[in-house]
Chains A and B, each alone.
Chain A
Amino acid sequence: MTEYETIIGLEVHVELKTKSKIFCPSSTEFGGDPNTHVCPVCLGLPGVLPVLNKKVLEYAIRAALALNCEIAEYSKFDRKNYYYPDLPKNYQISQYDLPLARNGYLNIEVNGQTKRIGITRIHMEEDAGKLIHQGTIATSPYSLVDYNRTGVPLIEIVSEPDMRSPEEARAYLEKLKTIIQYTGVSDCKMEEGSLRCDANVSVRPKGSREFGTKTEIKNMNSFKALQRALAYEVERQIAVLEEGGRIIQETRTWDESKGVTLPMRSKEEAHDYRYFPEPDLVPLIIDRRWVEEIRATLPELPDERRNRYIKRYDLPAYDATVLTATKEIADYFEECVALYPNAKAVSNWMMGDLSRLLNAHNMDITQCKVSPRQLTDMLKLMDRGTISGKIAKTVFEEMFATGKDPEQIVQEKGLVQITDEGTIAAVVDEVLASNAKVVEDYLKGKDRAFGFLVGQVMKATRGKANPELVNRLLREKIHSQS
């Protein structure tokens, strides 16, 4: 049985979050009633002309710099001609032979190894509209068109075919998303369509120098879908080759429910896009000083930030990766450690309870009611012994729900830890007195009985008794009894 090597390249489209569209002043706001964010230009009415939104160029340069690309000195727009109902002019204004940026890369970590994935090019283009079908596109007797999305600015990021597994492809996409989010030019949400991905996949016998025939895979709407689709396609291609067949160069769509890729209905003809320079737009000469100004405003990017956390805060790589997953999370973390030096403690709480609650409520950290100051104040309360670790969990949940300060919550709910030995001793005596059988069990060797007794003391003190004291006093008294 031949061993095969997988070759994967990804084409990613990212929606830039400028306020207005790329070639007209219509709003890019997501949602909105159909055909309410349109004007004569993005509708492609007779006689209209495009005018470039400068911010789109700025954001595109920003993203390209974050991806280590070379920014072209001379760039221009071209028309890509094809017919489709969601494309008002039946051509898309895009860039063909002189794209904005080239020769970039990003690093991914897979199985503890760092690997560089090349980025061939990045170019600007306009988005098309949305089609709505009754049922599926194949069975619907008609379709409805909403042009709100036409003209929303996109950058297309084309990778080198450097990925060798579906895992690597996924890691690439996740890293790409994180880097671009850091630059602030896009939300990169696959579920909202601001991040879209198509893949080119082929296989070849290991050791072979030639590339196999590739297929294009579309309609992968999540990171998981990407990985599953690629895994399926690789297997499918290998199966075809093993049976002596040939791979047909085609576009296939991922069917999420069936878990397979299927050939897309073949288009009428192979696409001849008849690219030519857009006559309604003039060329761009990109000033080097402007590029450097933009570069200077880039934040510390994910890899650098992660490495800095490992060194500076002595955090494990895993923690550092989670804490730098988005710029907002990393900013939050650093605000915390500015107020409170125990980075690991902060990390634990952020990766633990904070993360859990955010996920449960489908929120991201920017919507969190707990401020860094409040979180660190809570940690300080723990250090001072005012509350125990267990009580802190309750306090935190309350902070998350209400946004109140920890001190206030502790006061209002009377959660101050009981640290007075005498008080605890009294409770311990009572518990021991009412649970003589359990004490006997424990002394006979049933260790779990101890936990029960601890629990009873905690119950009686409504969780506020200092756990170390409870443990110590219980042990002392039990052993002193016997």
Chain B
Amino acid sequence: MELYYLTAHELHDLLLKKEVSAEEICRAVFDRIDAVEEKVKAYVTLTRERAFTRAQEIDRKIAAGEEIPPLAGIPVAIKDNICTRGIRTTCSSKMLYNFVPPYNATVVEKLEAAGTVMVGKTNMDEFAMGSSTENSGFFATANPWDLERVPGGSSGGSAAAVAAGEAITAIGSDTGGSIRQPAAFCGVIGLKPTYGAVSRYGLVAFASSLDQIGPFTRDVTDCALMLNAISGHDPLDSTSAPGDVPDFTSCLKDDVKGLKIGVPREYMGEGIDPAVKEVVGQALKLLASLGAEIEETTLPHSRYALPAYYLIATAEASSNLARYDGVRYGYRAEDARDVVDMFMKTRSRGFGPEVKRRIMLGTYALSAGYYDAYYLKALKVRTLIKQDFDRAFEKFDVLLAPTTPTPAFKRGEKMDDPLQMYMSDICTLAVNLAGIPGISIPAGFVDGLPVGMQLIGKPFDEGTLLRVAYTFEQHADYNRRRPSL
């Protein structure tokens, strides 16, 4: 396999054996980008020079006999809503088309400390609002498996980059499924950690109580390595979980004997494509054959997750996005009569329609007379949804479900009806509302398109998710397939 399609741990072995240099890895990835980026369009900004400088630094360290961490020299793509000092961070929005942060997100600091090489900033749905990356204010990203189809969203660029060999690993953000869903559509692994496990400092906020940063990788080992690098308490984030980070690679065991897996019936119902159900069914058979105990379970309030999510997320977003007003950074409308007019024109021209839609929905949900009926009501339903999971986890170690109702849909297919688009997230939303971890792993193919299955875990039990995923991976090879770009 080409260098750009190997995993980080495979490349690390090659680096240690001096069979390849960090610069060669970097070149392989950038050559790949030169070859396919025109078709995929995963990146908003490429940081080519910086990457090579970094790679050369790593090579010097290796030559000097220094011990290098597992991710040293590994090219990583960063979603464009994560602040990178001195490098444009746009959230794929006209509003921030020229914003250059003077500071690094904590996650970026950690990845630099881990020796990774930043390839560039990836395309996304504007301000993380969308499920197809078609809401990007700049351009759409294509699914490397079928260029007529969407890569998913909102972290479409990051997922596509990893799938296409334009990065070895990537990070994205997940508020209602924005890592897991594109991972499923692009045939890679995507993990949303427990809320609080990874610092949000430097992640441009969409919905503060739901957002989390997480990795895209080609196998579970890489996922554990990335999680090791980015997790941990951050004093700059008041919602960051205290306590030490376990070594997630110690969870990589090929063993699910006696593991109790629950399959919520609401996630295998009529809204799910039969072909997807078939793929998940086969995966369950495999896990059962390896000793797992599979049983159907129920999360009775599942159907309320979507409306609850769309009230809570948009309410928080309407407030988080208020700061984009043209005063201190970003786009400013030049032809304003006065400051209020400037706010109006700046925001109307700087934001795309989906962002405006959600801001208005959220503002409405919080406005006088409606707060109790909408926002507060949604917060209460959130409690019920969380309780569903708590009850299920009394009996089960993990839950298993499809990641998405269908494989990747065609570009333009869902753009006319927002509600239709929101439905792509029905398998993932509840996990964010409950703040628990979820991982999507490649579980099969339908008509040549990847299908992902989702494992959902107890709070801070990413370890069990990794173990089940790792076991599955040892006995199936879906994650080793590559698109023919």
Contacts and interface: CB of A to CB of B under 8 A. Distances in A.
Q: Do chains A and B touch in the complex (CB under 8 A)?
A: yes
B21 interface: no
Given A90-B322, A90-B323, A91-B319, A44 B235 contact: no
B325 interface: yes
B83 A281 contact: no
Scoring B99, B105, B202, B322 by chain A CB atoms within 10 A of each residue's CB, the highest score goes to B322
A322 interface: no
A52 B101 CA distance: 23
Given A49-B238, A85-B327, A276 B205 contact: no
Contacts of A274: 318-319, 363, 366-368, 371
Scoring A89, A276, A282 by chain B CB atoms within 10 A of each residue's CB, the highest score goes to A276
A40 B103 contact: yes
A89 B202 CA distance: 15
Contacts of A40: 101-103
B329 A47 contact: no
A45 B236 contact: no
Given A83-B343, A276-B375, A49 B201 contact: yes
A268 interface: yes
Contact of B328 (A44, A83, A281): A44
Name the interface size band of chain A.
Answer: 20 to 34
Contacts, number: 99
Secondary structure of the B contact surface, majority rule: loop
A49 B319 contact: no
A145 interface: yes
Contacts of B328: 43-45, 88
A89 B323 contact: yes
Contact of B315 (A44, A47, A276, A280): A276
B325 A49 contact: no
B155 to A, nearest CB: 16
A279 interface: yes
Interface in A11-53: 40, 43-52
Contact of A46 (B99, B327, B339): B99
A116 to B, nearest CB: 34
A282 B196 CA distance: 12
A143 B339 contact: yes
Contacts of B64: none
Given A85-B339, A274-B363, A282-B239, A45 B371 contact: no
B200 A83 contact: no
B367 A279 contact: no
Interface in A61-97: 79, 81, 83, 85, 88-91
Interface in B59-103: 81-83, 89, 91, 96, 99, 101-103
Contact of B238 (A47, A50, A85): A50
B235 A51 contact: yes
A81 B319 contact: yes
B319 A79 contact: yes
B329 to A, nearest CB: 7
A272 interface: yes
A59 B81 CA distance: 37
A45 B208 contact: no
Contacts of B315: 276
B425 interface: no
Contacts of A280: 205, 208, 238-239
Contacts of A51: 235-238
Given A274-B366, A281-B238, A282-B239, A44 B83 contact: no
A52 B238 CA distance: 8
A448 B227 CA distance: 99
Interface string B330-344: 000000000110010
A315 B396 CA distance: 78
Given A89-B323, A91-B322, A47 B101 contact: yes
9 contacts: A46-B83, A46-B329, A47-B82, A83-B343, A88-B323, A274-B367, A276-B371, A279-B207, A280-B205
Interface of B: 81-83, 89, 91, 96, 99, 101-103, 105, 200-205, 207-209, 235-239, 315-316, 318-319, 322-323, 325, 327-329, 339-340, 343, 363, 366-368, 371, 375
Given A44-B323, A47-B105, A89-B323, 8 more contacts: A46-B83, A49-B236, A51-B237, A85-B325, A85-B339, A88-B328, A274-B367, A276-B371
